Amino acid sequence: MAPTIVTALAVNADNTTATITFSEAVFKSDRMTPLDYNDFGVATTGIAVLDTNNCSVATIDDITFTFTLAYSTVADAGDTLTLTGTVYDTSNGSLNLSNNNAATISLNDLTTPPPIIYPIITSDFSW
């Protein structure tokens, strides 16, 4: 069987959720117990600072995990989110996320304000 790999890592538009997907079911080191938030390390680089007291993970199944993330500062261009930890599959394999570039993703830049759209008002004021 092929080794376990990260098949996808994505963040939503406001960086408040990150979803990681593996190529097969992954567990704690006993290869049976489902993973929880404490099995992962979550870190940012750049100006975005995670408020780890308000972060959590929801297991969609034993392959896909969605992290709810909270920040004390917003992300800008160049900030990244990295997941660390070791996960285990049922066939005696393991994957160390700390040594895996697929466990790092760029965060969306939230420091740039959205463009201001001005309405065009036309009137004929001739009498």
What does the pLDDT look like over 87-127, one tens digit per residue? 999 999 999 999 889 999 999 999 977 778 878 776 665 65
**Would you say residue 112 lies in a domain?**
no
Give a yes or no: residue 117 inside a domain.
no
- What pLDDT is recorded for position 124? 63
Determine the 3-state secondary structure of 31 from DSSP: coil
Q: What are φ and ψ of residue 115, in 5° steps?
A: -65, 145
Q: Residue 119 falls within a domain, yes or no? A: no
Q: Which two tokens mark 14? A: 């406001």
What's 49's domain CATH number? Answer: 2.60.40
Residue-range definition of the domain harbouring residue 30: 6-106
In three-state secondary structure terms, 27 is strand
Total of domains in the chain: 1
CA dihedral 67, 72, 77, 81 (to 10 degrees): -30
Any domain includes 116: no
> Does 111 fall in a domain?
no
Tell me whether residue 83 is in a domain.
yes
- Structure tokens that stand for 122 in this block: 């036309």
Give the whole-angstrom CA distance, residue 82 versus residue 97: 9
**Inside any domain, residue 125:** no
Q: With respect to residue 50, please indicate whether it lies within any of the assigned structural domains.
A: yes
CA-to-CA separations, 83 to 29, 52, 67, 113, 116, in angstroms, rounded:
17, 13, 10, 28, 36
Per the CB < 8 A criterion, the answer to whether 108 and 75 are in contact is: yes
7-65 confidence digits (pLDDT tens) = 999 999 999 999 999 999 999 999 999 999 999 999 999 999 999 889 999 888 999 99
